[in-house]
Amino acid sequence: MGEKEKKEESWLQQLCGGDVKLYDVLSSSLYLDPIAGMPKEDLGMLIEAAEKSVKDEDYEEAIRLYRSVADKAIFEATQHQEEKDRCIKVIQDLVSKRAQATEKLKEKVEKEGLTDRVAALERGTEDGKFLSERIEDVLEVAGHFYDERLKMLGEKEREEGRLEEKSERRGKERAEAEKEEKRDKKGEKERREKGVEEDREEEREKQREKETGEARRKKILEARK
């Protein structure tokens, strides 16, 4: 666990006020980055997916989805006060459905002799029951937690935006400098080629003058004869 995660963990403990059970439940339910980590589908779609898993008797997947939806509903309740009462009902209903799916899975694993999984499943049901009964406390702590996290993430995003803008500006400056350098090299090459061509033309002119002069002298000599 990095220093940042330790700092967030310590802060969450302070928000929970020494309530160990509340901290245990929330430390596994709250997202450090709710924007990136939260499922993008709306609550209705996620609930439908969970209920389909129940029908398919994939109780493990159903439990995972019910928990994921409950975690998203907690976040939604903290961000939209007008939706708080509805979200509370959704969370409590999800806890109940998750408990039912857990009982089905318990029966299945017991038949398969996987009794070591029963304790973990029962603990999940207990956590869900606690979440439902202490929902007001849960939302109070979650609200403070997410407000601060979103503020920090916003500052981080702005800083990243500034760095990206700076990097983009430097990239444009480098590209412009490279273009200028290419133009200078091209101009220098053209000047060299032009100079060479001028030298050649001068040599040709000298040669023409020489040939003309020789022809004139030859003509004069012939006339004297």
pLDDT tens by residue, 95-145: 999 999 999 999 988 888 887 888 899 999 999 999 999 999 999 999 999
Mean pLDDT for 154-163 is 57
**Residue 38 placed within a domain:** yes
Mean pLDDT for 201-215 is 70
Number of domains composing the chain: 1
Q: Is the pLDDT of residue 4 over 60?
A: no
Residue in 119, 121, 81, 74 with CA at minimum distance from that of residue 102: 121
Cβ count within 10 A of residue 84:
17
**Residue 13 placed within a domain:** yes
Q: Is the pLDDT of residue 200 over 70?
A: yes
Residue 96: burial class (beta carbons within 10 Å; 0-12, 13-18, 19+):
middle
Rounded CA separation 147/155 (Å): 12
**Residue 213 placed within a domain:** no
Q: What is the chain's mean pLDDT, rounded?
A: 82
Rounded CA separation 161/21 (Å): 39
pLDDT, greater one: 214 or 22 = 22
pLDDT score at 91: 95
Rounded CA separation 63/85 (Å): 23
Q: Is the pLDDT of residue 184 over 50?
A: yes
**Residue 159 placed within a domain:** yes
Q: Is the pLDDT of residue 166 over 60?
A: no
**Residue 82 placed within a domain:** yes
Mean pLDDT for 56-67 is 94
Is-above-0.85 flag for pTM?
A: no
- Contact partners, residue 150, CB within 8 Å, separation at least 6: 34, 35
Mean pLDDT for 61-73 is 94
3-state secondary structure of 45: helix
Rounded CA separation 34/139 (Å): 15
Rounded CA separation 163/126 (Å): 46
pLDDT score at 70: 95
**DSSP characters over 61-78:** HHHHHHHHHHHHHHHHHH
**Residue 50 placed within a domain:** yes
pLDDT score at 214: 65
**Residue 79 placed within a domain:** yes
- Residue 128 domain boundaries: 3-168
